Amino acid sequence: MASAFSQVITASDISTGNYTIEDVVLPMPGSRIIYPMNEVADIYHDMAKKDGISLTESVHNIKEFSITSMTGSYRRVFQKPINFQWDLLLYTDGNLALSETDIDKIAKTKPVNPVKEENPTNGTEGEEPFNHLEQLESFEDEKKFSTNDNEVEDSREAEPTQVHSPPDLNSQEPQKALKLAFTLPASCYATMAIRELLKTSTSVAFHKTLNQ
């Protein structure tokens, strides 16, 4: 969001070269902002009047509900992304992520705390704690290997597991993706930057037509 300070400039101010298109802002209605000195201001007032709102008078009985109780601000018409980077990537599996998110990076750096099971003594202090894991492993060994010579291992009686080879991703035609990285100030949105780049609409209705 642009600074709360703003001023109306003239053609002579522009000729000095001190201002560019990136300095142009639009007001967000409030009591401390300056509206443009041209027909753009008329558009603001006409649109507000259609909803029964006055941008200059406190027409509501409760001050907090009036537009004049809001200070207002300014928003830039154009904002260049900061620290802009891009890269072209080739991929064959559309289900795999092409880049790490911040959550992925945090998950890698965050240590995993194993849950320790407390072994209550129940009045048997000094005795060896009962190891459930060792008992389970011993039971599995006895199950697999019978003491009877006529029996065989259970694992041999089971049907062999069929292993299906994954599809050869190299045989698929590679797809191309554009990876973008940039920083935007407050009240600027990446979706709008992508819309300007692709020259397509970001409306829900438009994206529904893409899936048809």
Q: Express each pLDDT in 178-204 by its tens digit.
A: 899 999 988 888 888 888 888 888 788
| Lowest mean pLDDT across 8-22, 38-52, 112-126, 151-165 | 151-165
Phi-psi sector, 199: left (phi>0), alpha (psi -120 to 50), beta: left
Q: In angstroms, rounded to a whole number, what is the distance separating the alpha carbons of residues 68 and 56?
A: 7
Long-range contacts of 193-197 (CB under 8 A, 24+ apart): 193/81
Name residue 178's beta-bridge partners.
88
Q: Residue ranges of the domains in the chain?
A: 11-76, 81-95+171-212
Other Cβ atoms less than 10 A from the Cβ of 2: the count is: 19
- Enter the pTM of the model: 0.53
